Amino acid sequence: MPFNPSLERILPKSDSRSVLLVEDDDIHFELVNHAAHASPHLNVQIERAVSLGEAFSVIESSPPDIIVLDLGLPESEGLQTLETFLKRGIPIPVIVLTAMANLELGERAIQMGAMDFLGKDEISDRSLARSIRYSIERWKQKTTLDATIADLERFGNAAAHDLVSPLNAIQGFTRLIEIGLENTEVSKDIHECLHLLEVSSQRAADLVTDLHKFAKLGRHSISREETDLSELIEEVESSLQPMIGEHEGSLVVGSLPKLNLDRGLFVHVFQNLISNGLKYHRKGTPPIVAIDSCTVDGRHVINVRDNGIGISPSDRQRIFAPFERVKIDKAVDGTGIGLSICKRIIEAHDGVIWVESEVGRGSAFNFYINE
Ligand code: ADP
């Protein structure tokens, strides 16, 4: 007799799972209920709720292992149903169910936080078993990952704080020693060493702070609001006043649009780009940084131009990667993280940043975002 084992005999039945099926339509409820009980790969008890309100009371009294949520309910339709449900922050995996499989809708549901997506026209005992069992496994992995990220975040916050405080103390005490030694007979070397100590501790503190900013960026979702870039630049300009004065530089601001973006994050973008324009100036040439915009293919392209040292073609790509600095600029203070932060922020807004430059004449950093 040919060896032809059926899958039913190979795959063990899963442990018993409780499923809450949120479905107001009797026929569709029966369809899913029947598929679930017909599957040799599922061992489930199904409870039913016919509205979101009823689902919330069932979950409160006896939380299920998984929820299968129809998007068309008496209170709401489509992804709005999922959004209302997810807003409650219920820590239970959700599979979304809709009248017809629609890839775009499914993709959006997964981006919002659903574990899987099933069209009613594709429900069978197999597809349902697969979806329920895989979703529960995905959920376990997501929960472990979330806990690990939260631990790392706590560690990062503590490390950033605990490293920066002693570095600030070193800097402060070095300054005090320097003041104490003023007008005393101490060799030039000692003054030089104290100065280096102060500069190095400041560099280390900047590096920790920038690294912390960079790491945090990847974890937080952006929150957009309509922002008048002219107003935002005014704010950035006043925060950079000491640096502008120190370099005897000037800012020229052209006409800028209103864009839908995360205001707080774009303060960082402009601070980085403008302060680079001031820092990387040519010796003997006061820096001028011009901020302007133009429209290309219906998109606002923002440019931050300077009359500084410029960037050679071989360096233009790599400076956007973390810790990349151009060798000749090592004398200028910096950690090599600023542009990578700008790139991350702009990409989080579905945008692109690039640089055009001529060595010895200046650079133009350009970007656009998708709103
Ligand atoms: P940092 O300025 O802290 O070194 P960034 O990531 O902001 O770090 O910049 C990376 C490198 O790109 C800089 O070290 C510098 O070599 C180069 N760079 C950035 N902006 C400019 C500019 N406007 N003109 C010339 N070089 C620049």
Give me the tens of pLDDT residue by residue for the chain, a chain 371 residues long.
444 444 444 444 557 889 999 999 999 999 999 999 998 888 999 999 999 999 999 999 999 999 999 999 998 999 999 999 999 999 999 999 988 778 899 999 999 999 999 999 989 999 999 999 999 999 999 999 989 888 888 888 888 888 899 999 999 999 999 999 988 888 888 988 998 899 888 888 888 887 787 777 766 678 899 999 999 999 999 999 999 999 999 999 999 999 999 998 899 899 999 999 999 999 999 999 999 999 999 999 999 999 999 999 999 999 999 888 887 666 788 888 899 999 999 998 999 999 999 999 999 999 999 98
**CA 43 – ligand 1 centroid, Å:** 60
- Amino acid in position 41: H
CA separation for the pair 98, 79 (Å, rounded): 10
**What are the strands of the beta sheet with 288-296, ordered from one edge?**
250-253, 288-296, 299-306, 362-368, 352-358
**CA 228 – ligand 1 centroid, Å:** 26
**CA 266 – ligand 1 centroid, Å:** 18
Q: Atom 18 in ligand 1: which residue has the minimum CA distance?
A: 276
Instruction: State whether the beta carbon of 325 lies less than 6 angstroms from ligand 1.
Output: yes
Instruction: State whether the beta carbon of 126 lies less than 6 angstroms from ligand 1.
Output: no
List the beta bridge partners of residue 251. Answer: 289
Instruction: State whether the beta carbon of 271 lies less than 6 angstroms from ligand 1.
Output: no
pLDDT confidence of residue 328? 64
Instruction: State whether the beta carbon of 272 lies less than 6 angstroms from ligand 1.
Output: yes
Give which of 307, 285, 301, 283 is closest to 358, Cα–Cα.
Answer: 307
**CA 345 – ligand 1 centroid, Å:** 17
**CA 272 – ligand 1 centroid, Å:** 9
- Substitution site in 269, 319, 363 for ligand 1 pocket (most atoms within 8 Å of beta carbon): 319
Q: Are 92 and 111 in contact (CB under 8 A)?
A: no
pLDDT confidence of residue 218? 65
**CA 333 – ligand 1 centroid, Å:** 10
CA separation for the pair 315, 301 (Å, rounded): 22
Q: Looking at the whole model, is its pTM more than 0.75?
A: no
Instruction: State whether the beta carbon of 309 lies less than 6 angstroms from ligand 1.
Output: yes
Residue 335 CA, closest ligand 1 atom number? 3
Instruction: State whether the beta carbon of 277 lies less than 6 angstroms from ligand 1.
Output: yes
- Substitution site in 247, 309, 339 for ligand 1 pocket (most atoms within 8 Å of beta carbon): 339
Q: What is the DSSP string of 229-254?
A: HHHHHHHHHHHTHHHHHHTT-EEEE-
- Substitution site in 276, 335, 343 for ligand 1 pocket (most atoms within 8 Å of beta carbon): 276
CA separation for the pair 164, 204 (Å, rounded): 8
Q: Atom 13 in ligand 1: which residue has the minimum CA distance?
A: 325
